[in-house]
Structure 1
Amino acid sequence: MKIYLAFFIAIFILHSGFSQDFSPLEIPFFKGNSSIRNPVAGGLKNPQFSNIDFNNDGKKDLFIFDREGDVIIPFLYTGLNHSVEYRYAPEYEHIFPVLRNFTFLVDFNNDGIEDIFTGGAVPTTIEVHRGKKTQGALSYELMEFNFSGSVGDFLQVFLGNYTQIYCSSIDIPAITDVDYDGDVDILTFEAGSDKISFYENMTKDENLTSDTLKFILNTKCWGGFKEDEFSSDVNLSNSINDCYNFKEPNKDETRHSGSTILIIDADGDGDKDLLLGDLTNENIKFLKNGGNPQKAWLNEVDHTFPSTDVAAKMQVFLAAFSVDVNNDGKNDLIICPNDRNDSERTNHIWLYLNEGSSTIPDYKLKTKSFLVNDMISLGASSHPTFIDYNDDGLMDIIIGGNGSISVDGTKKTWMELYINSGTATHPEYILENGDFLGFYNFAQPIIRLAPSAGDIDGDGDTDLLVGEFLKGQIFYYKNKAGKGNPVEFETRIFPYKNFFIGNASKPTIGDVNGDGLGDLIIGETNNELNYFENVGSIGNADFNTSPTTTDFGEIFPAGSSYYLENGAPFIFEDNEGLKMLFGTQGGEMYLFSDINDDNRTFATESVKFGNIKTGIRTIPTMADIDKDGYYELLIGNERGGINFFNTPLKLKTVSTSENSNQNQIEVFPNPTSNTCYFYGQKSLYANIFDINGKKVKSGYFTEEIEVGDLISGIYVLQFYFENKSEVHKLVVTK
């Protein structure tokens, strides 16, 4: 009987199996009755904005580059009558090369195709990638520059000899036509300088080909002003021919620590004014140009721009971007943080629509959460986990994060619970609790919550662990509901077992040694992966305070690796055995197999799992949320959002017979003519396949399945539960 069933199952798998890739998934999410428009776009933390027409429909879309993780996030404009509506469009991400620090799309050669200016692979340089279209398909190639034997793939300027055009890794330069002569110039702060250097493009002046980029240093004191040495203020010169305190100084003063530059003609007088962000300032300063296009003189300053409306004010180091958001032919203004570390993370993308004209703009604040309000976002460092919270057979989601920072520096963190309100094959999620387990007003300071669900005590229900950043301590929530019931947590235990493993604890639960108890694998800031063997008993988990090993699986190379820090393990099982998906600081995900407790090195299956890059500090978790027999991948990242992907990883399939001791589910009577019942799980999703592998019945069933409509024969009955499936032979007789 077992041999026959095994053969039958092999035929079934051959006919019914199919290959999946790592394509992005669009999963519906809701808050109340309102649909979240772009829930799985991954969040925004330090975005930079450019216009581009991705789909050639004549409308300006948005290319977003987020400095936090150097991530590309395309959005298609879907609005009507100048409404502000966008759709996340990951299908365009693959077009673009590796980008760094800052990125602008600017058509420098006037061929109608946006080119790329971005931070170079060589630190503090600027790369250019020239855009081209082949049969309508956009692609980019890195430009190489050769001036008098000086060859490099970054912009250069002749200063006695050829050298790089400098741009700090934390700055945002201006790349636009500064002097109105028809070619693209560059404004940037030099290393240690408190003044802006103007690199003039000589392409038009010297009648060079349009694909040429030749720069000279026009002035090291554009606009005549300098940033104050001791504050975030600016000092203005007294005349158009002066640089503050000096006449075109020969050497720079050491001051510059970080600035963002946007130049636009904000008053319609035909020259470029300056919007300036500073590393230590909560505002954008407006410096009016009282000079002319060829000779800038910034002689007036407004410290609270735009003073004609709600002035931008956020936690530190802001940047401004001029793009057409609502496709009305007028550029609007977006202001948001540029600081990767302590910038504001909620209500931090301020959109000002231009209610004036294209020549004399009038900026009015429309929202403080442009685009990010239409995403799942927990501020920063999102950590998702799957859990069947209400025990309905559908996987729900808990997400922890690093929360918000207000202008006064106050930090708050929280978790959110999303209930799967869809069906077994078509999941959708609704926000059930925006402060799940009440961390928002927790009595002591906590940063970054990292939940992980699993059966830690082997009693058949799902418990919850939550790691935190500051001390790496663990919250433990024991589920007292019992198997087959909605989750009911006991009072939390904190700190659980007084574990001390360093900062940024990220736990996961897995039965590594096969004793029926959930062991703990905890990632952290340092290059260590901690394994705690569960030494308790069924219903009573217990651990030693110190790890069983701090080098679990020997997955780290010799020496430290920044890119492998903040490790985020996830343990799962397929037909090959126990495996671990491992998220990292650098953003890559590793896949390991041969997970064991006998101190052997894990086998490395992939160092770039799926070639997926959603940002830095990737936090992976997986479950089969649509009952197709494959794991779906949910990823958190440092930007605070989430991304969903298909995977080709199959769930573990347990092939059973009537007498197998592997059965978790009992099916009876078998054979049957009308109804079969199952015991061991109250409600399950199941598929029934005929001998040819054709699906003849599927659905979500509670304790019984009607099969009276099936003809006599042998069928495969496949149940899905707990991230695995169980297959039974079912005989129908008439």
Structure 2
Amino acid sequence: MKTVKSINPYFFFLLLMLGSFNLLNGQQNVPAKVFGQDKVLLKYPWAGGMNSIQFGAVDVNRDGIKDLVAFDRNGNRMMCFVNSGVYNQVDYVFAPQYVKLIPDISDWAIFADYDMDGRTDIFAYSPDWAGIQVYKNVSESTLKFKRVVYPYLKSFQENMYINLLVTEADYPAIADLDYDGDLDILSFWGYGSFVNYHKNLSMEKYGTPDSLDYALEEYCWGRIAESDESNAIYLDTCFTNYQPVARSQKKERHTGSTFLMIDLNRDSVLDLLLGDVDYPSLFALYNAGTRQEAFITSFDTSYPAGNKPIGLYSMPVAAYIDVNNDFVKDMLVSPFDPTPEKSQNKHSVWLYMNTGANDHPFFIRKTKSFLQSQMIDRGAGAYPVLYDWNGDGLDDLFVGDYGFYQYSYYDDFKRLYSVHTSKIAWYQNTGTAQQPAFTLMDDDVGDLFEKGYLGLIPAFADLDGDGDVDMLAGYEAGKLILATNDGNNNLIFETDHYADIDVGDFSAPQLFDLDDDGAKDLIIGEKRGTLYYYHNEGTTGNPVFTLMNDSLGEVNVTDYALSYTGYSTPWFFRVGNGPVQLVVGSEQGKIFHYTNIDGNLNGKFTLTDSLDELLDTTGVSWDRGMRTAAVIGDINHNGQAEMIVGNYSGGLEYFNGNAEVSPGITKHHTNINPLYIFPNPVKDRAVLSFNSDNQNVHLSIFTVEGNLVLSKTIQLNVAGRYRLNITWLPNGLYVVKITTPSAVYTGKMAVVR
């Protein structure tokens, strides 16, 4: 009998990886690692932070397993996390590549399968219409949505089909209330405190659930009313002569509520979890009626009762999703309040694991920082600055913020106020020149937290001529804080009105030699969206700042169609020895890029759309959320530009492009081509082949984690091939990259022995 040699099962794994591993835009884009203050590696450091999250279960990678999508209404940011699908494990991988496949959402979204085809659809707020638009999931092999209802979903009421009214301040319930197989809708009445029940008639009329045919079934669902002035609930209350004030017209309280329907007690009718604006709790309203006629007879004001109840400012919204693949849905809770300054931020995503059943849950709080504990999350706002603080030749990362939530209180008119306090973090670059890694070393640089400032944004230079680095920091009052270095890299607070500089509100300083005279000048962004330019008439060590212009370059990042404020955050930079360029963050989230700066400080800078070209990225939206800030530098010392962007959700995003740079010249490799590797998998030697006229090219090999294992110049033979000896490489999957003056070639290589 013929002997068959056994095959290493690792071979099959690598074959699978070769088929499924995807290089975004044909590049190896693995950002720097980040470690917390406990030196533990963060799993999602560059996910961008979380503040006010609405969750949904969507199969984003089409593998048959429901993944997690997270929508942050602070900046209308969408995030995707791919679920490993392992039973009884909470295990997700951050997957930003799927975000572009999801429609742009504003204010709120509910993820629900309305046509019962197994694919999660999206009900979303329709801006300017106070209604609901609907996106149908039409995915096959790739995630895809099609808008099927716009500008708003209609409901038959008062003998006509009219807008099913839902404002941006309310989060409706979309569930099969009568158990007939289609999705009904609960929402607050636009002119009062009653809950409207809009019945879906799809099954009754057509025998299928996909028609979205609604009619107002009950104007006072559950026979309950909510107080106009508080979160009080009145039972068995459906007055016919009630004359309430319209929700949109109430002056004393900002109205708004959140709904989630769950069968809380296994009686086969859905109960209601209700959140209310300006309050931290969810009320559990128990339905003792029938599927056809709800009747709320009791409620719990502290849910889940006796088991670390929800206390989350402000206006908690809940999602019912199985996060650990045990086939039992868990509860995720986060703030919904449309006023971001009122809400919890650093610990704003609460996970309650369900140890009961789907129709009789028993919730145990697992964490107050689900997912966000594995991110850089600086509360509200994140303002990054790159500076080599310890003089080791590596850029460290400093992050200012708007503030961390401290506590909330009510005034005499029951209006909610929340207190936030800002601080500055220092992440030391503990990696190498080619492989940066950031470790949180100081959570409160200069001990400014105790002073109670808002909106701290740092800038660094030797400001007193003693040879060490001092700090300026902008803040809410529009002035500047000075903290000097004591010689041991301890920053000592000196003043919060440095040089009597005042730009109005929310000063955002940068120290940069703008006119190339050897002395660092001072540029300050501010709330109105413009830039102040103070020329340094002295030296860097003994500065004398003189105001030259309060509208430098005619930069103004305010979007007057939406706001009268801009919150400009400037970052001037040079790529190599090239010309000065500028990126500016803004209130509405867009990152603005300007050129034509050198020799033009009295003129108008040129606004460009060339950030993709600069960073060698493709198809990236530079609208990154809300109140953004950006820095650009050669963080990994590869001669290429990288960018870090902060946003109001307290997090950072890292854009590691492929724009190779020579001194004074930016070379943009817009041509990304396949590299042919054979045999593949390979044991000892592989042949690299590609179409190029260049014989001397650069070879790089990376692990799939992004670690560089080989970097050298190689010479091709006349056929454009190179024979690569990889006997020294351990088994594994690698990314091989060839760089020429005009193009980049990439391929995947499996080493199997």
* TM-score, normalised by the number of residues in structure 2: 0.78
Matches within 5 A, 1:314-333: 314-333=312-331
Is contact 1:117–1:127 with CA below 8 Å preserved after alignment?
A: yes
Measure how far apart 1:269 and its partner are.
0.4
**1:635–1:458 CA distance, 2 compared to 1 (3 A):** farther
Amino acid at match of 1:646: N
Amino acid at match of 1:616: M
Is contact 1:22–1:646 with CA below 8 Å preserved after alignment?
A: no
Tell me what 1:246 maps to.
239
Measure how far apart 1:432 and its partner are.
0.8
Measure how far apart 1:161 and its partner are.
3.3
* Distance (whole Å) between structure 1 residues aligned to residue 336 and residue 88 of structure 2: 28
Amino acid at match of 1:37: K
Matched, 1:287 2:285: yes
Measure how far apart 1:255 and its partner are.
4.9
Amino acid at match of 1:102: W
Tell me what 1:435 maps to.
444
Is contact 1:43–1:376 with CA below 8 Å preserved after alignment?
A: yes
* Distance (whole Å) between structure 2 residues aligned to residue 117 and residue 460 of structure 1: 59
Q: Secondary structure at the match of 1:533?
A: strand
**1:106–1:464 CA distance, 2 compared to 1 (3 A):** same
Tell me what 1:464 maps to.
471
Tell me what 1:536 maps to.
538
Is contact 1:276–1:284 with CA below 8 Å preserved after alignment?
A: yes
Q: Secondary structure at the match of 1:260?
A: strand
Tell me what 1:726 maps to.
none
Tell me what 2:11 maps to.
none
Tell me what 2:358 maps to.
358
Tell me what 1:661 maps to.
none
Amino acid at match of 1:381: G
Q: Secondary structure at the match of 2:204?
A: coil
Point out where structure 1 has 5 or more consecutive residues left out of the alignment. 1-18, 145-151, 238-243, 656-689, 697-709, 711-734
Is contact 2:385–2:458 with CA below 8 Å preserved after alignment?
A: yes
Tell me what 1:584 maps to.
586
* Distance (whole Å) between structure 2 residues aligned to residue 319 and residue 510 of structure 1: 44
Tell me what 2:454 maps to.
447
Matches within 5 A, 1:8-407: 25-31=30-36, 32-78=38-84, 80-134=86-140, 136-144=141-149, 152-159=150-157, 160-207=159-206, 210-237=209-236, 244-247=237-240, 253-255=245-247, 257-339=255-337, 340-407=340-407
Q: Deviations over 1:430-465 (max 9, x none)?
A: 1111222112212xx311211233567899875432
Measure how far apart 1:231 and its partner are.
2.0
Tell me what 2:651 maps to.
641
**1:22–1:555 CA distance, 2 compared to 1 (3 A):** farther
* Distance (whole Å) between structure 1 residues aligned to residue 461 and residue 27 of structure 2: 25
* Distance (whole Å) between structure 1 residues aligned to residue 562 and residue 28 of structure 2: 28
Tell me what 2:553 maps to.
553
**1:380–1:315 CA distance, 2 compared to 1 (3 A):** same
Tell me what 1:512 maps to.
514
* Distance (whole Å) between structure 2 residues aligned to residue 30 and residue 584 of structure 1: 28
1:615 aligns with one of 605, 625, 631: 625
Amino acid at match of 2:351: L
Is contact 2:524–2:533 with CA below 8 Å preserved after alignment?
A: yes
Amino acid at match of 1:335: V
Q: Secondary structure at the match of 2:446?
A: helix
Of 504-513 and 271-280, deviating more is: 504-513
* TM-score, normalised by the number of residues in structure 1: 0.79
* Distance (whole Å) between structure 1 residues aligned to residue 505 and residue 116 of structure 2: 51
**1:57–1:648 CA distance, 2 compared to 1 (3 A):** closer
| TM-align CA RMSD | 3.0
Tell me what 1:604 maps to.
607
Q: Secondary structure at the match of 1:232?
A: coil
Q: Deviations over 1:104-140 (max 9, x none)?
A: 2211112221111111133311110111124x01111
Amino acid at match of 1:331: K
Is contact 1:528–1:551 with CA below 8 Å preserved after alignment?
A: yes
Q: Secondary structure at the match of 2:97?
A: helix
* Distance (whole Å) between structure 2 residues aligned to residue 158 and residue 219 of structure 1: 12
* Distance (whole Å) between structure 1 residues aligned to residue 610 and residue 562 of structure 2: 15
Matched, 1:414 2:413: no
Q: Secondary structure at the match of 1:611?
A: coil
* Distance (whole Å) between structure 2 residues aligned to residue 633 and residue 21 of structure 1: 19
Matched, 1:631 2:641: yes
Q: Deviations over 1:680-712 (max 9, x none)?
A: xxxxxxxxxx9946589xxxxxxxxxxxxx9xx
Q: Secondary structure at the match of 1:193?
A: coil
* Distance (whole Å) between structure 1 residues aligned to residue 271 and residue 135 of structure 2: 27
* Distance (whole Å) between structure 1 residues aligned to residue 26 and residue 403 of structure 2: 33
Measure how far apart 1:282 and its partner are.
1.8
Q: Secondary structure at the match of 1:34?
A: coil
**1:107–1:337 CA distance, 2 compared to 1 (3 A):** same
Tell me what 2:571 maps to.
570
Tell me what 1:424 maps to.
433
Is contact 1:405–1:412 with CA below 8 Å preserved after alignment?
A: yes
Identity of aligned residues (%): 30
Amino acid at match of 1:282: P
* Distance (whole Å) between structure 2 residues aligned to residue 503 and residue 607 of structure 1: 30
Is contact 1:573–1:651 with CA below 8 Å preserved after alignment?
A: no
Tell me what 1:729 maps to.
none
Of 390-399 and 190-199, deviating more is: 190-199
Q: Secondary structure at the match of 2:373?
A: helix
Is contact 2:424–2:444 with CA below 8 Å preserved after alignment?
A: yes
Q: Secondary structure at the match of 1:341?
A: helix
Q: Secondary structure at the match of 1:353?
A: strand
* Distance (whole Å) between structure 1 residues aligned to residue 523 and residue 28 of structure 2: 29
* Distance (whole Å) between structure 2 residues aligned to residue 642 and residue 216 of structure 1: 45
Of 340-349 and 490-499, deviating more is: 490-499
Measure how far apart 1:528 and its partner are.
2.2
Q: Deviations over 1:312-368 (max 9, x none)?
A: 112221112111111111111122211222111132221110001122111111111
Measure how far apart 1:477 and its partner are.
3.9
**1:327–1:20 CA distance, 2 compared to 1 (3 A):** closer
Measure how far apart 1:79 and its partner are.
6.6
* Distance (whole Å) between structure 1 residues aligned to residue 551 and residue 490 of structure 2: 34
Measure how far apart 1:537 and its partner are.
2.5
Q: Deviations over 1:402-434 (max 9, x none)?
A: 232234444332221111111111111111112
Amino acid at match of 2:214: F
Is contact 2:137–2:144 with CA below 8 Å preserved after alignment?
A: yes
Matched positions, count:
624
**1:488–1:309 CA distance, 2 compared to 1 (3 A):** closer
Tell me what 2:736 maps to.
none
Of 524-533 and 631-640, deviating more is: 524-533
**1:114–1:694 CA distance, 2 compared to 1 (3 A):** closer
Amino acid at match of 2:201: M
* Distance (whole Å) between structure 1 residues aligned to residue 325 and residue 89 of structure 2: 8
**1:600–1:455 CA distance, 2 compared to 1 (3 A):** farther
Is contact 1:459–1:538 with CA below 8 Å preserved after alignment?
A: no
Tell me what 2:746 maps to.
none
Of 340-349 and 418-427, deviating more is: 340-349
**1:128–1:34 CA distance, 2 compared to 1 (3 A):** same
Q: Secondary structure at the match of 2:341?
A: coil
Of 32-41 and 261-270, deviating more is: 32-41
